[in-house]
Structure 1
Amino acid sequence: MTPILILGIPLDFILFAATLVGVAIFHRHTLLIALAGLVTVVGYKLAFAGFKTGVGLSGLALHMQHEWVTLANLFLLLMGFALLSAHFEKSGIPDEMPALLPDDWKGPVVLLGLVFVLSSFLDNIAAALIGGMVARHVFRGRVHIGYLAAIVAASNAGGSGSVVGDTTTTMMWIAGVSPLSVLEAYVAAVIALALFAVPASIQQQKFSPIVKNAPKGLQIEWVRVGIVAAILIAALAANVTANMKFPALLDHAPVLGLTVWAVILITAPLRRPDWELMPATFKGTIFLLALVTAASLMPVEELPAASWQTALGLGFVSAGFDNIPLTALALKQGGYDWGFLAYAVGFGGSMMWFGSSAGVAITNMFPEGKSVVMWLRHGWHVGVAYFIAFFAMLLLVGWHPDLPR
């Protein structure tokens, strides 16, 4: 089969780019556009270009056999963590947060710091949703889009230096990269947090100030707190155990997602999950899976030569292109400083609302965030922080690449 080129560019990329442009412009119809884009790309691959794994339906089947674990994990985590966030909201803890946070713009800064820390040992989706739920309560339900972008950025930055904090860093760990090599990503991540947290918090404080005092007579529902803790602890334990003891299992089963749902179902008799959230969450989840699947079909066989310039560029690319295949290609190629790559592909997706699973999760909770124009306009500080922090890390740490593979 012969791929079609237009001005030297494979038609696959043009179709995928058109899908992203459609999502950016028609943000009220993102699911329909993403599904239409995926169907178009698959149809073109079937008729003309073929797949990396072969041609026709057999090639498609083999490709999906390779991708299904990643897609299943994303589906289970996004759906499951939406229920977790509802348990967390009903526990009463978000209503108590005004008593713990400063009363002025420093309160939103502290909340972003908490999201950052949570994401270092939890999945960044869970950290972002917990941060969004607290924000909904302490800002009277009115959260600025610039602050939504900052919550996503804090969750992605917090996971970038931890091998259990993000899918991409976990992939590096499985591939044999030392956790200490990934850890240096926190040099840039902490600088980035300091850069975007203040302007985002000032935006939020002007838009809807933080509640100064917690409502009186609140009671924490400790059963729901226990359910939230059980889900998060089980997810963390499953992630660490599978990576250390049974790494091959991660290629054959969505271990993390299944663990989260096992705890949700086991604890359901204690407190009923908020099943009513599932239809809206399902739509947002299918949107992300459509984009991730389309990205995995792109004919990216290799990346440019490994360098800090390439790593910097991959951060911008990951804002619109799934960072999982980018990371897989980088691991295959070698020659990167893994701390820089972890920061770039982990944090870079924060620059667009659909550039990371945490961004999609947050916009499921706050649909007004599903506008690329508004996200870029009000979340400008995220892109600026990414760029400045990358060069600060280059100056402070230096580029120390691994050997090519």
Structure 2
Amino acid sequence: MGVPFDFILFALTLLGVALFHHHTLQVALTGMVTIALYKLLLGDFGGVPGLPGLAGLLAHEWVTLANLLGLLLGFALLADHFERSHLTDLLPDVLPDDWKGGFWLLVIVAVISSFLDNIAAAMLGGAMAHVLYRGRVHVGYLAAIVAASNAGGAGSVVGDTTTTMMWIAGVSPVQVFEAYVGAIVAVLFFSVVAARQQHAYQPIMKDSPKQVNVDHARLAVVAIILVAAIATNVFLNLRHPQALNDWPAIGIAVWVALLATAGWRSPTWSLLPGALRGSIFLLALVMCAAMMPVKALPAASWATTLGLGFVSAVFDNIPLTALALRQGGYDWGFLAYAVGFGGSMIWFGSSAGVALCNMYPEGRSVVAWVRGGWHVAVGYVLGFAALLLVLGWAPDEHVQSRSKSQPVPAKSP
């Protein structure tokens, strides 16, 4: 049927992840090795056959993979610092006692994700939910936490790697900011549904535990780590964007901050083995996607952009965004919304989802995620419709030439 065999192998890998959610790591690694062997024996890597092609691909992707690994592991420890600070124990006195408490928690996650890495925002949201709902969090609410973290970063050039890529390529931050028209509509819809869903499953804690002692030192550690990540991201994007291509700078910054503060408040190092398994799973899927022979996208249109949101639920949104920038002709607010938010529809569709499922393994079921988090997909479509109705499709033809000469930054999802 004209479908490259690479894509068939990738589709079978994703199907295996969906069907055998208790063995996702083994399935992802098997798929990655199978695709690599097929391309070594019968295909090529971006036009270069054999081991030289594979070596070239790894040389191109190692920064992305190292950044992902550093962020996933580092933010797992950060979320534990945050939960052990006991600040979350004060939230029952601040949030409403009914379903609206869950609603406002999701709004908080979306807001902090506008200036914070979406992995960190999702992990902080998961830590807060763990306390507020006594460890019983509905899968649909987990999907909503991931969706809120991704939606919050969709309209900010420092909130998501895809939007940062657009900024570097010459897209105005104002054009990216337009994505919030869709993101706000989506968040309002799925947050109401998910909060009611969670309230029926496990009501929110009504009162804070007595004599809460907030560990201000751990909060300071959390702040230091986050400031290190944000400052590194913004400084390098403004001053030395090529450095993001050459080194996993943001992941390094997180770990330098973690190690520098370890003598003050020691992280829970025992969390790393579990987080490492989830991280390797995501890295394997990223490598599978990187080996796909995608050289062009369909002609730019609002329908194509809508479809890219669904594709990003199973395909790394970094190469999708890079291809769109090279091709040109997109409305960048629409694209930022689609590729930034679309990955929320499946648990492994974004790094935030994988990170959160390291905390909540029950989320590693595509069937349960889609069944419980159906409101995320509906919210995505409603948000996209809002963009069309409020702003209309207004493609920008001028970014294409600039983007060809711009480097693609390392992934910091």
Q: Give TM-score scaled by structure 1 length.
A: 0.98
Give a deviation string over 1:163-203, Cα, whole Å, max 9, x none.
11111111111212111111100000000001100010000
Q: Distance in 1 between the 2:328 and 2:43 partners? A: 28
**Equivalents in 2 of 1:232, 1:208: separation in Å?**
31
1:83 Cα offset (Å): 0.4
SS in 1 for 2:114: helix
Match of 1:378 among 364, 372, 375: 372
Please say if 1:284 is aligned against 2:278.
yes
CA contact (8 A) 1:53 1:60 kept: no
1:240 match? 234
In 2, the alpha carbon distance for the partners of 1:342 and 1:227 equals 32
Aligned position for 1:4? none
Cα distance in structure 2, aligned partners of 1:255 and 1:100: 37
Q: Secondary structure at the match of 1:231?
A: helix
Give 1:211's aligned residue: 205
Structure ranking higher on relative contact order (CA contacts 8 Å, 6+ apart) = 2
Q: 1:301 aligns with which of 295, 300, 304?
A: 295
Aligned to 1:176: 170
Equivalent-residue separation in structure 2 for 1:57 and 1:14 (angstroms): 22
| Structure 1 segments unaligned to the other structure (5+ residues) | 1-6
Paired residue for 1:29, among 23, 27, 30?
A: 23
1:360-375, aligned counterparts within 5 Å?
Answer: 360-375=354-369
Is residue 2:60 matched to residue 1:60? no
Secondary structure of 2:107's counterpart equals helix
Shift of residue 94, structure 1, vs aligned partner: 1.2
Deviation digits for residues 81-136 of structure 1 (CA, Å, limit 9, x no counterpart):
00000100110111111111110000000000000001000000000000000000
| Residue 52 of structure 1, CA deviation | 0.4
- Percent of aligned pairs with the same amino acid: 62
1:4-403 to 2 correspondence within 5 Å? 7-52=1-46, 54-403=48-397
Question: Which residue of 2 is the match for residue 3 of structure 1?
Answer: none
Q: Alpha-carbon deviation of 1:388? A: 1.2
Give distance in 1, aligned partners of 2:33 and 2:368.
28
Tell me the SS of whatever aligns to 1:9. coil
Shift of 1:40: 0.4
Please state whether the residue corresponding to 1:121 is helix, strand or coil.
coil
Amino acid at match of 2:311: V
One-letter code aligned to 1:204: Q
Query: Which has the larger displacement, 235-244 or 174-183?
Result: 174-183
Residues 50-101 of structure 1, C-alpha deviations (whole Å, 9 max, x = no match): 1105111111111111111111111100000000001001101111111111
For residues 210 and 236 of structure 2, what CA distance do their matches in structure 1 show?
44
Contact 1:71 / 1:289 at 8 angstroms: preserved in 2?
A: yes
1:249 and 1:283 map into 2 onto residues whose CA distance is 28
Q: In angstroms, what is the RMSD of aligned CA positions?
A: 0.7
Aligned residues of 1:53 and 1:63 also touching (Cα < 8 A): no
Q: Report Cα offsets for 1:346-372 as digits up to 9, x if no partner.
A: 100000000000000110000000000
2:156 aligned partner, one-letter code = S
Q: Which deviates more, 167-176 or 123-132?
A: 167-176
Deviation at 1:402, TM superposition (A): 1.1
Which amino acid in structure 1 is aligned with residue 261 of structure 2?
T
Q: Indicate if the aligned counterparts of 1:53 and 1:62 stay in contact, CA closer than 8 A.
A: no
Structure 2 letter corresponding to 1:360: V
Q: Which ranges in structure 2 are unaligned for 5 or more consecutive residues?
A: 401-413
Runs of 4+ in 1 over 3 A off after TM superposition: none
On the 8 A contact 1:78/1:281 being kept in 2, the answer is yes
SS of match in other structure, 2:355: helix
Moved more, 46-55 or 328-337: 46-55
- Cα separation, 2, equivalents of 1:209 and 1:93: 20
Deviations 1:229-274 (A, max 9, x none): 0111111111110000111111101111110000000000001111
